[in-house]
Amino acid sequence: MVFWHYLLPILFFTAVFVQLIFILGIFPGLLSHQDTERDTISSQKPGVSVVVAAWNELENLKELLPILEAQQYPDFEIVVADDRSHDGTYDYLLFNEGGYSKVNFVRIESLPAHFTAKKFAVTMGIKKATKDIILLTDADCRPTSDYWIDTMVAQLSKEKDIVLGFSPYSFEDSRLNSLIRYETFQTALQYFSFAKANMPYMGVGRNLMYRRDLFWTSNGFSSHHGLLGGDDDLFVNEVSNKTNVAICIGEEANMVSEPKRTWSDWITQKRRHLSVGKRYKFRDKFLLGSLATSQLLCWFILLPTFFIKPDWFEAPEWSRIPTEWLDDNHLQDFYPYNDWMRLITLVFFVWLLIRWLILAKANKKLNSTLSSFRIPYYDFLYACYYLVFGLITIFSNPKKIKWR
């Protein structure tokens, strides 16, 4: 028992300290960020190839392609990588049934050995592209404005080769949808904040821009072409450095996506996404692991730490509640709530309030994609998500995870 009297307090206070390092030292970088404004005068802008990998996405393409064609940008094309679709996508594109002027496509008939479908489709789409800048999205995504391309391009510079965009999920009235949107917010908060701190580690392929030369000079997906996931985050993890990544969070550049609607589909998707984290750089695994572990400890060892009442602890005289005062005011029932319990309660709620405040400001910065009032509730669920999927990821083989 004495062992736990020392271990639990050490773990709890260390976890709170680590959390505050991230909350006050890393996350505020996003809060102060301002996107570079679009240049509304110059027409000398780099050509952009919007690459969309599609597998049986005919109905989505019928909605997406007209929206992309309406983008207000002087020099762009749309490249659809038709990944062996059998729903009429090929005929639709071949005969240009939508009457598109900017759409090209490449038809994929078969996959080479040991090359996963999404990565091969994206690679063929980039190979088909004729412009210097690649902008990736998915067929089930929709830009929030006609200036998506222009706003993303505005973040590029001579030093910046990669632009990380934001892709929130659309709202639906369900608990699963709320959790998905909160998890997406947390993921964006982390990869944007780390990029602002000159430690970029991932991007999201629903809204991701980079120079085409960067893709080819870094050999594309060659180091992980056999893994189902990683066409976005592993690629960025490999080719990014502290100076070549910009972020774009303005609402005009958001790309809204359709979320999974069943728990089983979402679990499959998250297993695929999280499994490739094992391939991140050591620095990124350490930082993300520290962030996740400290959050877990803050939530899940709170009660054990609260009730241990260590013998070595003695509260300063000024912080104690005199027993005589409790007796005089008929508050004898307050005795069990001792000095140690009050300390743990204070530390926990200070951490929670600071975290709530910073996350609420970040949520506002990311266009209020969720309710700030419910952040503490979903933050606890997110900790549960960390615990469950962390264990699944540790004991899973990424090569055996299904794509669809």
Residue 259 sits in the same domain as residue 292:
no
Element housing 190 (H / E) = helix 175-196
| Residue 130, SS3 per DSSP | coil
Structure tokens at 313: 């602890």
Residue 295 sits in the same domain as residue 340:
yes
| Residue 37, SS3 per DSSP | coil
Residue 293 sits in the same domain as residue 272:
no
Contact between 261 and 176 under an 8 Å Cβ cutoff? The reply is yes
Residue 140 sits in the same domain as residue 257:
yes
Rounded distance, CA 91 to CA 69, Å?
19
Rounded distance, CA 321 to CA 337, Å?
10
87 inside domain: yes
Residue 18 sits in the same domain as residue 64:
no
Q: How many residues does the chain have?
A: 404
151 inside domain: yes
User: Domain containing 128 — which CATH number?
Assistant: 3.90.550.10
Considering 228, 251, 278, which residue would you say is the last residue of a domain? 278
Residue 50 sits in the same domain as residue 134:
yes
Considering 213, 246, 278, which residue would you say is the last residue of a domain? 278
Residue 240 sits in the same domain as residue 182:
yes
Residue 321 sits in the same domain as residue 363:
yes
38 inside domain: no
Residue 78 sits in the same domain as residue 194:
yes
Match 């094309």 to its residue by tokens.
77
Q: How many domains does the chain have?
A: 2
283 inside domain: no
Rounded distance, CA 292 to CA 23, Å?
12
pLDDT, position 93 = 96
- Where the chain has pLDDT below 70, the residues are 1-2, 272-275, 317-337, 390, 392-404
Q: What is the pTM of this model?
A: 0.90
pLDDT, position 395 = 55
195 inside domain: yes
Residue 246 sits in the same domain as residue 173:
yes
33 inside domain: no
CB under 8 Å to 88, separation ≥6 — which residues? 58
78 inside domain: yes
Provide the residue range defining the domain that includes 382: 2-27+288-400
Number of C-beta neighbours around residue 391 at 10 A:
10
35 inside domain: no
pLDDT, position 401 = 47
Give phi and psi for 184, each to the nearest 5: -65, -40
Match 């506002």 to its residue by tokens.
364
Residue 358 sits in the same domain as residue 382:
yes
Residue 328 sits in the same domain as residue 247:
no
Considering 278, 298, 333, which residue would you say is the last residue of a domain? 278
Strands 162-164 and 245-247: parallel
The DSSP bridge partners found for residue 134 are 49, 210
